[in-house]
Amino acid sequence: MRIAFVYDIPYPWHKGGIEHILNVEARELAKKHKVHFFTMRWPGMRSKFSYQNVTYHAFGTISEEEAYKHGRRSIREAVRFSRYMRNLYKYDFDVVITNAFPILHLQAVKSYCRSRKAKLILKVDEVWDRSYWVNYLGPVFGDVANAYATSLIKIDGAEYVANSSSTAEKLVRLGIEERRIRVFAPVLEDNEMAAIRKASRKRYKRVIFSGRLIKEKRVDKWLHMMKQVIEKDSSISGLLIGDGVERNKIAKEMKALGLAGNVEMRGFFKDKRGLYKAIAESKLLLHMGEREGLSIIALESLALGTPVMVPDYSPIPKIVRDMCVVEKEGRIPSKILEVMGSGGRYIKNEENLETFSTSNVIPFYDKLFLTSE
C-alpha cells in the first residue's frame, strides 16, 4: 500500500501531541507499507529525506514564530501549506492520511484523492464550535471561519479518525455520519515505558507538567497552585517542561510569585526517554489545561505509574478522566499535599491504557484501508 501523510508540523522537529501521534502512525505503518510524509520545512530538515523508513517531503521554510501569531495558528502559513499540496500529484497514493488542521489544505487534498481515486482518512483531534471560533478570531472573522472550516471538514466519502469519544460526538453534531467515524489514538510505547518505570526506583516530592506553552494549557494556574502548595511545604518542588509563545510570560510570572528556587522550567527533552524518566521520578503530574482533545501527557504519566491530577472542568475525555484524580480547583493544593505525603495508590482503571498502545496501529489501519466507500 502507498500511503501519504499530510501535516504541516512534523515530529520531532516540533514537539506536540498531534505531531507525536502522526509520527507513531507513520513509523509503524512503514514497517509494512510505503509511507511518505508531506510537511513544511522546519529548522534542521532537508527538502527530501528518509527518517524511520518514512520518506519526508518538506516545503518552504517555517519557524515557531512564523507558525504562530499572537498565540494562534498563522493563516498566512496555512495558505502557504495548502499551495504546496500540488506536489502530491507527482505521486500515486492509495491512501492519504491528513489531520484536519490547518484546515485550508483540505480542499486540495480532497481534490487529489478524487482525481487519483485514493482513500482519504481525516484525523480530527479537536472540533471547534462557533463560540470557540468567535473567541479565537472575534465575532466577524470567527463566524466566517466557523462556517468555512465546517464545510471543509465535511468530506463525502472520507473516513474519520477521532482521538476520543468526545471528539467523535462533536463530529456527529457537525453532521458527519457516525458510521464513518472511528476512535483511535496510539500514544503509548509499551515496552519502553515499562522498562523506564521498572528502572525508576525513587520518586521525588515533585509536581511535573510538560506541554506546549500556550494560553490554553493554563500554566499560570499551574504556577498559582504550586505557590499555595510550596507555602505549606517547601520541600515540594515543581518541574515545568516545554516551549512556546507563552514562555517569557510564564517565566516572569514564576519570578513574580517567588517560585524560581522551587520550580524549574526547562525546554523539551531531545527524545521521549528523558521526559519519561522525569515523569517516572515525580510523584504527581498536574494538568490545568482548558482545551484538550485527549491529553497525551496525562496518558504517558499514568502509564509510567505517576498519578495525574486535573480540575473538575478539564475537557479531557472520560476514558482518561476515569484514571485521574479529579478535584475542584479550590481543593487542588490540599489534594497535592495529600498525594505528596502518601504512599497510597491514586491511579484507577489502568486497564483503559491498553486502548492507547502503539502496537494497535497496523491492525487498526489495515482494517480501515479495507473499508468500502
Confidence of residue 372 (pLDDT cuts 50, 70, 90): low
Q: CA 206, CA 350: separation in Å to the nearest integer?
A: 22
Quick one: what percent of the chain has pLDDT higher than 90?
75
pLDDT of residue 259: 95
CA distance 150 to 154: 6
Domains of the chain: residue spans and CATH:
2-186+357-369 (3.40.50.2000), 190-355 (3.40.50.2000)
HSE-up of residue 350 (Cα within 13 Å, Cβ side): 11
Q: Which DSSP string do the residues of 327-350 spell out, in sequence order?
A: E-GGGHHHHHHHHHT--S-----G
What is the sign, positive or negative, of the torsion defined by CA atoms of 261, 262, 263, 264? positive
> Residue 345: pLDDT band by 50, 70, 90 thresholds?
confident
Across the strands, what pairs with 36? 4, 55
Q: In the prediction, which pLDDT does 183 show?
A: 95
pLDDT tier for residue 262 given thresholds of 50, 70 and 90: very high
**Segment 142-154, tens digit of pLDDT:** 899 889 989 999 9
**Mean pLDDT, rounded, of the chain:** 93
The per-residue pLDDT for 192 is: 86
Instruction: Write out pLDDT tens, residues 193-220.
Output: 888 988 887 899 999 999 989 888 999 9
Neighbours of 53 (CB within 10 A): 13
Q: Are 362 and 3 in contact (CB under 8 A)?
A: no
- In this predicted model, what pLDDT tens digit does every residue of 100-113 receive, in sequence order? 999 999 999 999 99
Give the burial class of 336: count Cβ atoms within 10 A of its Cβ; 0-12 exposed, 13-18 middle, 19 or more buried.
Answer: buried
Tell me what pLDDT residue 274 has.
92
**What CA–CA distance (Å, rounded) separates 361 from 123?**
14
- pLDDT tens, position by position, 167-183: 999 999 999 999 999 99
Q: What is the mean pLDDT of residues 34-57?
A: 97
Q: For residues 89 and 164, which has the higher predicted lDDT (pLDDT)?
A: 89
Which three cell numbers mark 35?
A: 509511507
Give me the helix-helix angle, 272-280 and 296-303, nearest 10°.
Answer: 60
User: Average pLDDT in the 39-46 region?
Assistant: 96
Q: Which residue has the higher pLDDT, 137 or 52?
A: 52
Residue 15, pLDDT score: 82
Q: What is the pTM of this model?
A: 0.83
Peptide bond into 102 cis (omega under 30): yes
User: What average pLDDT does the segment 258-268 reach?
Assistant: 94
Q: How confident is the model at residue 71 (pLDDT cuts 50, 70, 90)?
A: low
DSSP 125-165: S----HHHHHHHH-HHHHHHHHHHHHHHH--TT-EEEESSH
pLDDT of residue 74: 85
